[in-house]
Amino acid sequence: MTHGPVTASLSIPLDLQASGLTGPLDRADADPAAFSMRGRLLADRAQHADGEERQILCREASSAFARAGQIAADLAGEYARQADECSGAHAAHPLIRERLLRGRIEKEPHNMELKTGWIALQSELAVADAEAGDLKKAGNRLIRASKAVNEMIAFDPDNETWIAQRDRLDCDIARIAAAFGPA
């Protein structure tokens, strides 16, 4: 069952205006709630469609949900940055900063500054894990960070910052291994 003409070139139903899925929701380009609502409306409409129309509606709904998540993550990052700025310290919880960094690294996989920050954060989180008594988690976190920094060093073997970071990670891994057995 279809609900009106569909065009693949526009990738939206031609009768979208009549369906009530346009208007303010299309103009709210920085509002995650608007994209989320648009996604829900499109997904609901897709449940009642068939064939190509259903596929198009599902893609549009997925795109709207993805945009809502992206905007929300960007806002969370901005709020965390502003909180850091106001407090003069890292106000955001390290696990939140880790999640935000991972998201930014996914968007910018060649940004070595972000990766360097992620690796430093892994050391901070490993200390917290060790203090909480989860030495295995701390060791595994340090090992992942060490693998990441070694990949970066392979890209630029003369980078002293990365070499120093690797050396600190290796010392931390050795301390955990010596005190509590291999990670």
Q: Are 130 and 138 in contact (CB under 8 A)?
A: yes
The pLDDT of residue 88 is 54
pLDDT in tens, the chain (183 residues): 444 443 333 344 334 444 444 544 444 566 777 888 888 899 899 999 999 999 999 889 888 888 877 777 776 666 666 666 665 554 457 788 888 888 888 888 888 888 888 898 898 888 888 888 888 899 999 999 999 999 999 989 999 888 998 999 998 888 887 776 554
Rounded-to-integer distance, Cα 16 and Cα 128, Å: 51
Residues across the chain: 183
* Alpha carbons within 13 A on the beta-carbon side of 58: 9
* Backbone phi, psi, residue 177, to 5°: -65, -40
Residue 146 has a pLDDT of: 94
Query: Among the residues of the chain, which ranges form H helices?
Result: 16-19, 24-27, 32-47, 51-87, 94-107, 112-131, 135-155, 160-180
pTM: 0.49
Tokens of 35: 């994209």
H or E element, residue 14? none
Cβ atoms within 10 Å, residue 84: 14
Three-state DSSP class for residue 50: coil
**Residue 151: predicted pLDDT:** 93
Looking at residue 13, its pLDDT comes to 39
